[in-house]
Amino acid sequence: MPDLPEPTIGSIDRGDLTIHTFMAPDDFLANSTHVLETAHGLVVIDGQFVAPYAIAFRRFVDAFDKPIRKVYLSHAHVDHWFGLSTAFPDVPIWAAQDTIAELRHTGESERAARRVQYGPFVPDAVVMPEHVAEPGHDTVDGVDYHIDVVRNAECGAQLVLTLPGHGVTIAQDLVYSGTHVYVTRTTANTIALLRVMATSGSDTFLAGHGPVADAAEVLHNADYLAFAEQRLAHDDPATFREALLAAYPQRRCPQLLDIFIPRLFETSTLEVGT
């Protein structure tokens, strides 16, 4: 990837399952995608944002020389599905029905608008998931997945995949690990979900931004949102931004604030998330 920083790659071994996390640099919001590797295949979670990292992620996946059994798209925000359009148009993609409907409704307009903004970093077309990820249970190469669709949290609908036999929850943008946390106008549902998730029995949480998290970080996300909700009630945009930076100086990707703060203080209701 000429002229771009290298991604960060890490792995966690869980016996018959190895989890690989591919994280873009902070300048690209520490966007995280994951590969769940078993003896006979791979499950891919999301596809990165900009084209160079999406292509690099596909090369990373292909280097395992195992078939991709499934790709799960967690939700309909561009920093998660653009990379699937760029680098994974040839593999089966599963998503919630709400996510598929949203992509049919807004995918092309989002792609076209960002293409004007970001040029070749943006895909040439929208790749539509062909398979609905229904709530319930699935098994891929001996690994059990519990599938939930969480609504009205960080976005309208988001897949949450739990691997009960491995202590793993794939939370994606419900958890921002080590970065600033995306704030929406209504946080109560997300806070409640995070607090339940932290006590669910999982000890490993795959985040949509940042490295793999633990239960403590999930609770830190809930605390961040509670603090932001309290400040939002009386702050102006500049004061709100300063308060978050002062309260959480250790958190990375402050540019996330520049994405969600204008949306929080606009009078019209806009799509949440990055």
Entry pTM: 0.94
- Phi, psi of 133, rounded to the nearest 5 degrees: -85, 100
Comparing CA positions, the residue from 75, 80, 69 lying closest to residue 36 is 69
Give the pLDDT confidence score for residue 272 in this predicted structure: 38
> What pLDDT is stored for residue 274 in this prediction?
59
Say which residue the tokens 């790749």 belong to: 127
Query: Two tokens at 263?
Result: 């949306």
Determine the pLDDT at residue 267: 57
Query: Which pLDDT score is estimated for 3?
Result: 82
pLDDT at 2: 58
Query: Residue 268's pLDDT is what?
Result: 38
The neighbouring-strand residues paired with 213 are 205
CA 187 from centre of chain: 17
Write down the pLDDT at residue 266.
86
Give the model's pLDDT for residue 270: 38
22 in Cβ contact with 9 (< 8 Å): yes
Q: Residues with Cβ < 8 Å from 274, sequence gap 6 or more?
A: 29, 77, 78, 79, 173, 182, 256, 259
**pLDDT on residue 271:** 43
Tokens linked to 261: 């703060």
Could you tell me the mean pLDDT of each successive run of 10 residues in the chain, 274 residues long? 87 97 97 98 98 98 98 97 96 97 97 95 95 97 97 94 97 98 95 97 97 98 98 96 98 97 73 48
Burial 111-141, CB ≥16 within 10 A → b, else e: beebeeeeeebbbeebbebeeebeeeebebb
| Cβ count within 10 A of residue 7 | 22
Q: What is the pLDDT of residue 160?
A: 98
The gap between the terminal CA atoms of the chain, to the nearest Å, is: 23
